[in-house]
Amino acid sequence: MLKGIPAVLSPELLRALAEMGHGDELVIADGNYPCHTHGQQVIRADGLGTCDLLAAILVLLPLDTYTDGAAFTLMQPVPGDDAPGIWRRYREILADSTAENRTVDCLERFDFYERSRNSYLIVATSETALYANIILKKGVVELPREEKERLK
């Protein structure tokens, strides 16, 4: 255990988050998502839901502010399906985070699948809500202003 690190983040997931570079993408996948079919690297988070993981990851992972689009992408429901109720909770978590880029976008299901194939990592959860999948684009970690001044 470490101080300040959310307990739901496993050592394996912490390592992967630290290895990610600017622009790399992470998929937080619900329990129905074909993670091992689409993911080059999959980390299992069995027993955890997407909301707990999202809140914990956003403590450590900066979202991309240099992208023209959103750094937070959801899977669009198939026509005829309702918008998932869990999205409201996602927006609350994002609003409560320190993320500078809070733009949210949606991708059609098969476009989401294709994009996830190029992601750095897929985290497989036990989330039962439908369309609970998220793509996060990692931003840069900037030095605090005091540190920048010290280095001048």
Q: Report how far residue 20's alpha carbon sits from residue 35's, in angstroms, rounded to the nearest whole number.
A: 18
Strand 25-29: give its sheet, edge to edge.
42-45, 121-125, 25-29, 134-137, 72-75, 104-107
Distance from C-alpha of 127 to C-alpha of 50, rounded to nearest angstrom: 6
Residue 142 DSSP one-character state:
P
Radius of gyration of the chain (CA): 15
Residues forming the active site: 22, 64, 113
Q: Would residue 80 be called left, alpha or beta, if left means φ above 0 and alpha means ψ between -120 and 50 degrees?
A: left
Structure tokens that stand for 128 in this block = 């039962």
